[in-house]
Structure 1
Amino acid sequence: MSDTSQPEEFMQAYQYAMAQMMEAGIKSFRSSDMLRNINKDDVQIAQTPSDVVFQVDKVTVSRYRPLNDNPIDAPPVLISYGMFGRQTMIDLQEDRSLVRNLLMAGLDVYVVDWGNPTRADQFISLDDMINGWLRDCIEFLVEKSGGPITMFGICEGGTFATCLAATHPELFAGLALTITPIDFKGDPENFWRGEGFLNQWLANFSEDDVNNLVDTHGNMPGALTGAMFSALTPMNSMTKYSLGLQRLDGDADATLNFLRMEKWIADRPDHPGVAAKEWFNKFYRENQLVNGKFSLDGDVVDLQNIACPVLNIYALQDHIVPVSCTKPLSNYIKPKKYTEIGFPGGHVGVFVSRKAQGVVAQGFVDWVNKTQIKKKKK
Structure 2
Amino acid sequence: MHDFTELTQKLFKGVESFSRLREEDIQIGVTPKEEVYREDKVVLYRFTPKVEHSLNIPILIVYALVNRPYIVDLQEGRSLVANLLNLGMDVYITDWGYPSRSDRFLTLEDYINGYINNCVDVVRDRHNLEQINLLGICQGGAFSLCYSSIYPEKVKNLITMVTPVDFHIQEGLLNVWGGSTLGSQALDVDLMVDTLGNIPGDFMNLEFLLLKPFQLGIQKYIDLLDTIESEDKLLNFLRMEKWIFDSPDQAGEAYRQFMKDFYQGNKLIKGEVEIGEKRVNLENIRIPILNIYAEQDHLVPPASSLALEKYIGSEDYTVRSFPVGHIGMYVSSKVQRNLPPTIVDWLKVRT
Bin of the TM-score, shorter chain as denominator length: over 0.9
The residue that corresponds to 2:176 in the other structure is: 200
Assess if the C-alpha contact under 8 Å between 1:313 and 1:360 holds in 2. Answer: no
AA matched with 2:62: S
Assess if the C-alpha contact under 8 Å between 2:286 and 2:315 holds in 1. Answer: no
Is the aligned partner of 1:132 residue 2:114?
A: yes
Kindly report structure 1 stretches of 4+ aligned residues shifted beyond 4 Å.
none
* CA deviation after TM superposition for structure 1 residue 202, in Å: 1.6
Is the aligned partner of 1:370 residue 2:349?
A: yes
Alignment of 1:17-28 (within 5 A): 18-28=1-11
The residue that corresponds to 1:6 in the other structure is: none
Distance 1:115 1:294 in 2: 25
CA offsets, 1:16-47, max 9 Å, x none? xx333333333222222211211111101001
The residue that corresponds to 1:225 in the other structure is: 204
Change in Cα spacing, 1:143 to 1:249, as seen in structure 2 (3 Å) is closer
RMSD: 1.6
Query: Percent identity at matched positions?
Result: 39
The residue that corresponds to 2:99 in the other structure is: 117
CA offsets, 1:351-374, max 9 Å, x none? 1110111232221112112222xx
> Which SS does the other structure have where 1:151 is aligned?
strand
- 105, 123, 128: which one pairs with 1:141? 123
The residue that corresponds to 1:60 in the other structure is: 43
The residue that corresponds to 1:288 in the other structure is: 267
* CA deviation after TM superposition for structure 1 residue 321, in Å: 0.7
> Which SS does the other structure have where 1:94 is aligned?
coil
The residue that corresponds to 1:4 in the other structure is: none
* CA deviation after TM superposition for structure 1 residue 295, in Å: 1.4
Distance 1:93 1:324 in 2: 30
* CA deviation after TM superposition for structure 1 residue 244, in Å: 2.7
Assess if the C-alpha contact under 8 Å between 1:316 and 1:343 holds in 2. Answer: yes
AA matched with 2:304: C
Distance 1:359 1:184 in 2: 28
* CA deviation after TM superposition for structure 1 residue 89, in Å: 0.5
Change in Cα spacing, 1:239 to 1:55, as seen in structure 2 (3 Å) is same
The residue that corresponds to 2:87 in the other structure is: 105
Distance 1:106 1:237 in 2: 36
Assess if the C-alpha contact under 8 Å between 1:219 and 1:272 holds in 2. Answer: yes
> Which SS does the other structure have where 1:128 is aligned?
helix
- 182, 185, 190: which one pairs with 1:211? 190
Assess if the C-alpha contact under 8 Å between 2:168 and 2:175 holds in 1. Answer: yes
Is the aligned partner of 1:323 residue 2:302?
A: yes
- 311, 332, 342: which one pairs with 2:290? 311
The residue that corresponds to 2:242 in the other structure is: 263
Assess if the C-alpha contact under 8 Å between 1:153 and 1:177 holds in 2. Answer: yes
Assess if the C-alpha contact under 8 Å between 1:81 and 1:112 holds in 2. Answer: yes
* CA deviation after TM superposition for structure 1 residue 240, in Å: 4.9
Distance 2:71 2:42 in 1: 17
Distance 1:169 1:19 in 2: 65
The residue that corresponds to 1:338 in the other structure is: 317
AA matched with 1:60: V
Assess if the C-alpha contact under 8 Å between 1:102 and 1:361 holds in 2. Answer: yes
Change in Cα spacing, 1:216 to 1:247, as seen in structure 2 (3 Å) is farther
Assess if the C-alpha contact under 8 Å between 1:31 and 1:245 holds in 2. Answer: no
TM-score, normalised with respect to structure 2: 0.95
Distance 1:249 1:26 in 2: 11
Is the aligned partner of 1:278 residue 2:265?
A: no
> Which SS does the other structure have where 1:68 is aligned?
coil
The residue that corresponds to 2:159 in the other structure is: 176
Assess if the C-alpha contact under 8 Å between 1:175 and 1:311 holds in 2. Answer: yes
Aligned residues: 347
118-127 or 27-36, which moves further after superposition?
A: 27-36
Distance 2:17 2:329 in 1: 27
AA matched with 1:358: R
The residue that corresponds to 1:158 in the other structure is: 141
> Which SS does the other structure have where 1:96 is aligned?
coil
Assess if the C-alpha contact under 8 Å between 1:28 and 1:245 holds in 2. Answer: no
Distance 1:272 1:334 in 2: 32
The residue that corresponds to 1:36 in the other structure is: 19
AA matched with 2:203: L
Assess if the C-alpha contact under 8 Å between 1:149 and 1:174 holds in 2. Answer: yes
* CA deviation after TM superposition for structure 1 residue 213, in Å: 1.8
